[in-house]
Structure formats: C-alpha cells, structure tokens
A and B are shown apart, each in its own frame.
Chain A
C-alpha cells in the first residue's frame, strides 16, 4: 500500500515538468511552429531560475526569472521562425544549443563549476488532508489544477485560442479574417516558452533545490513526443505525461529491488518514444497535424 501511494505521489511529481512543457509546446505547435528549442528553454529555466533564487534568496524571484527567460526564448524562436522565416527545426536546435551553452557558461562563471553544488532552500511540500499521495509542491498543484485546465480553456474557448488555432491551421484565411498572424504566433510561442521554462525551474526550485549539468536529460524531447501522442490536445497530452511519469517512477522503484537489477529498464524508458513513432505510423497520413505546421507565413 505504501508502495502504491509512493508511486502515485512520484508519478504526479515526475509528470509536473512534463505538463508544463507539453502545454507550452502544444501552444507553439497549434500556432504552426514546431519549437525544438524546448529542451534548451527548460534547461535555461532550470539554471537561471536557480541562479536568481540563489542570489536573491527568494524563490519567487527565481520563478519570475525563469518566466522571463522563457518569454525571451519564445520571442527569439518567434523572431527566427515568424519574422525571418527560417527553417523551424534548424532554428529550434540552434536555440537549444545556445541556451544549454549559455546556461553552462553562466554556471561555470557564477558557481565556478566546483564539485559541491550550492543548494537552496527549495519550495516546501504541501500536504493537504495529511494524504501522502497529495503531498506535493505548489508547482505540481498549479500544473494540474491551473495550467492544464486553463491552458485547455484558453485554447478551446477563448478568442485568443481561436486565433492561435486559426494561424496554425490556415494563416492565409486567418490573415484575411483580420487576425495578425505574426503577433498571434509571437504570443503563442512566448506563452509556450514561459511554461517550458517553469517546467525546467521545477527541478531546481522544487524537486532538487540545486542545479546539475544535464538536469533536463531529454525531457524536452519527451514533451515533443507527448504533444504528438496527445494529437495536439492538452487533455490527452497531460494523460500521456502521467503515463510516462508512472512508468518512470515504477522503474526507479523496481530497479533497487533484489533480482530486478539485471532488467534493462532503459528499454522501458525508450517506450514513450517508440509508442509515439508507432502511433504516427499507424495513423499514417491521417495524423491531424496543424495545417500550417513547419510553414512560415508571408503575405504574397
């Protein structure tokens, strides 16, 4: 029973950064931009959120710094993919390389790359009703009770969301209907970037209280997979995040049991990527990619 409760708690905790990242990436892609800068944006959110919290002694300052970094990363992606109209995948990979480089450069500069990493007093766990499974960080509550439902509501039910979907589906028609395509895409990418960076900051400001090199460890790529797994729907993307997090939490716990140490859990961790590729293969041409996916828009 304790095992199960721990598993549920760990699943919610592991899913938290993925929820932020997946909702953020969904916004970008529904606006027609594949943002491969996500891995670097999460990394920079983790580092700069941590560094600001360490310097100021305030976690709020850290979180706001992460948001600012995410907004800037989203704006840079928008500048390259919308204003300039470059290849989205090259721009995204470039942003990831840049942000990982800048974060590690700054880490070296500020903390000297010493063996012992500084720690901060990270966010405390909230434990409503004394239930262990619900003993979670505030950022986890925000992810599941605010970011996911609000993210869905804005995208599905507000004019902003309609505009985002319109510029991602058919920018020519959206433009003709008087929607500012460039402005809407900037907005979607910046909202998305801020969410990705918060997802990264979750590691340093809540879960670990410290920064280590390689802290994001490919979770941005997991989010890219989850967005497709969820077929660009936030609800299904969050469900995918929970599934992945559950598998991850389970293998961590099984790995330490006697007799299980020889099991190749890496294959289990590879499953989400393979499932997404299989899902793409099975749905074939019917995959409902946003209509203007990967296409820059310029008036003729």
Chain B
C-alpha cells in the first residue's frame, strides 16, 4: 500500500480556492445521498427541493431570509471571535441571554414609541449577550483559562435559566404554558412586506454584517484584531495589546449573539419560549466556518443554510423525506469543509522511498 503523508504548502495553489466549494458540494451530495435513497426518494429530486425549488416562489425566498436572519447574527458573532483567535463556542447561551432580556424589556416598554422601544430592547439584549460572554472572556485574558470549555458550559446554564423563568415567575398565568407574557405591540419588529414573516431584524442583521466587514477589513482596529488572531506573539511584538483586543472581540461577539436573541423574540415569537433557539448559536459556528470566517462568507453561509432549512421543509412535505435531512446536510457540509480547508495549508504527497513517512 502506498503511504501518504502531509506536506506543508507555502501558499495554496491558484486552482484550489475556486475548486474547494465545488469539491465540498460534490462530497456533501455524495455523502448525504445515502440518506435520501434510504427514505425512498431520488437524490436529484431531493436536492432539487433542497437547493433549487425554494428559490422559485416569493414565499419561500422570503422564508429563506427569515431563516437566515438569526444565522447572519450568530455567524457574525462567531466569525468576529474566531478571527481574533477567541474560540467562542457560547453564542447559543449569549443568544438566549439576549432573548431573555428582550422578552423582559419588551413587556415594559408598552407606552413608548416604537423606535425607542426597539432601541431599548436591542440595547438590553446586546448588553445581556455581552454580560453572558464577560466571565469566560475575563478568565481568558486575566488567567489564561481556555475559553472553549467555559463558553460551552454556559450554554446549558442559559437554557436552564430560560426553563427556570418559564416554569417559574414568567409562566403564562392565563394558559399555564411555559411561555412568557407577549411583548408590547410597540416592541415588535415590524414586518417588511405583506404576507411574509420577514421583519426589520433582517435589515439590521445585514447592516451589522456590513459594519463588521468594514471594521475588520477597512479600519486599523480590524487589522489589529486579525493580527492577534493570526499570531498573538507577532502582534504583541508589534506593540498591540493582545489581551485588550481579545476581550473586545469576545464581548462584541457576545453582544451580536445577544441581538440574535432579540431578533427572534421581537420579530418571530413575540415572547420567550423554550424553543426560541433550535441551536442557532451552534449553527453560527457552521455558518462562520463555511464562510471561512470572512463576513461576505458569513452572509453566503447564512443564506445557504437558510435555503437548506426551507428546502428541507418542502422536501419533507413533497417527497416524504424527513425534514431532519436539512440538519444532516448542514453538518456534513461543515465537516467536509473543515476537512477540505486543511488542503489550503497542506498537501498530500506519496511518501517517497527512503524518506520516513
């Protein structure tokens, strides 16, 4: 058997960058076709429903944008942190903290004009997300404690806080359901178009992606953040305060994730529910990774996953393929992409005779 080994590349070859997405889609297609066939549908028909059909009607196109809204925000949150070398796995908890704050504030701002009410909710949600991100961030910059585990472990804590509130003080007194009181009408993010769930949160999310793109690529602060992410040692040598930048990226990341919670509460649910986030924080990691941690990439990734979410729903109804195919496709795509991205830095070569593999 020929032995293969990895060899470090100086730079990725020119053909690789355009080839990677094609390879990724082809591999994901091949791997997930098994599941489609098992459910008795044709792979081509299923992938047509998943990736093409949702783009053909007004309703489904708008639903893609609805589905992409929280992912744009969590994807941006994750990308900003990861690029700086801060591995924030806690976007889910930060989103939930933002959702709690939004649901709480939303019931208190009844008498206020809509812009004021919305700003108050946004500020509360961002502050809550930032607050939820604060402890792991401080532990990292003060005591050098790895943030992967601390940010991750605060996710179940946030979920327990949500269920604790909904089973306790916030339980709907009228129905007894674990749902909080409906937020004031003036606190609702208004719909953008008739006959659609698309709401103002989408515009805010797109604007935030644009701002994040501008800041990270066009300002000195953004260059410093990337320098810290690429090599903390080199950044320190260049006189950059690494700890301050790590802290800043971590907190901004938390605040943006908190806004995702605000968007879902104020734009879709109008109250806090246990199902306010079906894992949007974790999906944010998928989005950011698919987008190679760049902001245009995040926008692309969020729209792609939104497309798959909507497509999985229609594929389920029309072809009888379980709609959970959507999550399978997303996760497979993530794993395929992280595996393929390594090809940018390494190539596989045949171990030559004599040389030890």
Contacts and interface: CB of A to CB of B under 8 A. Distances in A.
A97 B331 contact: yes
Interface in A41-61: none
Size band of the interface chain B makes with A = 35 or more
Contacts of B207: none
A225 B153 contact: yes
A134 to B, nearest CB: 31
A80 B157 contact: no
Contacts of B346: 85, 298
Interface stretch (B103-111, B120-128, B281-289): B281-289
Contacts of A86: 338-339, 341-342
Q: Helix, strand, loop or mixed for chain A's interface?
A: helix
A127 interface: no
Contacts of B324: 101, 104-105, 108
Contacts of A104: 322, 324, 327
B332 A285 contact: no
Contacts of B6: 85, 298
A175 B156 CA distance: 38
Q: Helix, strand, loop or mixed for chain B's interface?
A: helix
A264 B148 contact: no
A94 B335 contact: yes
Contact of A84 (B139, B153, B331, B339): B339
Nearest to B139: A281
A254 interface: no
Nearest to B148: A89
Contacts of A206: none
Contacts of A293: 146
A266 B153 contact: no
A91 B342 contact: no
A277 B39 CA distance: 44
A269 B158 CA distance: 11
A280 B145 contact: yes
B253 interface: no
Nearest to B156: A218
Contacts of A225: 149, 153
A100 B279 CA distance: 12
Given A93-B89, A97-B334, A284 B145 contact: yes
B189 interface: no
Interface string B149-185: 1101111110111011001100000000000000000
A98 B155 contact: no
A108 B163 CA distance: 26
B11 interface: no
Contacts, number: 142
B334 A221 contact: no
A162 interface: no
Given A91-B335, A95-B335, A97-B330, A84 B157 contact: no
B356 to A, nearest CB: 8
B152 A98 contact: no
A289 interface: yes
Nearest to A217: B156
A93 B82 CA distance: 15
B230 interface: no
A84 B5 CA distance: 10
A294 interface: yes
Size band of the interface chain A makes with B = 35 or more
A87 B143 contact: no
B163 A102 contact: no
Nearest to A227: B149
B87 interface: yes
Contact of A224 (B39, B152, B342): B152
A276 interface: yes
Nearest to B5: A299
A80 B160 contact: no
A86 B156 CA distance: 25
Interface string A193-237: 000000000000000000000000010011011001000000000
A266 B164 contact: yes
A112 B183 CA distance: 36
A273 interface: yes
A104 B327 CA distance: 9
Contacts of B156: 218, 221-222, 270, 273
A257 interface: no
A100 to B, nearest CB: 7
Given A224-B152, A273-B153, A101 B338 contact: no
B35 A270 contact: no
Interface in B258-314: 279, 282-283, 285-286, 289
A146 interface: no
A154 interface: no
Interface in A62-105: 76, 80, 84-87, 89-91, 93-98, 100-102, 104-105
Contacts of A269: 160
Interface string A270-300: 1001101100110011010100011000100
A281 B143 contact: yes
- 6 tightest CB-CB pairs across the interface, nearest first? A266-B164, A101-B327, A108-B322, A98-B331, A97-B331, A105-B324
Interface of B: 6, 35, 38-39, 87, 89, 135-136, 139, 143-146, 148-150, 152-157, 159-161, 163-164, 167-168, 279, 282-283, 285-286, 289, 322-328, 330-332, 334-335, 338-339, 341-342, 346
22 contacts: A34-B149, A36-B89, A80-B335, A80-B339, A84-B338, A85-B346, A94-B335, A97-B327, A97-B330, A98-B335, A101-B327, A104-B327, A105-B328, A113-B322, A218-B159, A224-B149, A270-B160, A277-B150, A280-B145, A281-B145, A287-B145, A289-B146
Given A89-B148, A274-B157, A285-B143, 15 more contacts: A87-B338, A89-B152, A91-B335, A93-B285, A94-B331, A94-B334, A94-B338, A95-B335, A97-B279, A104-B322, A109-B38, A266-B168, A273-B157, A277-B153, A284-B145
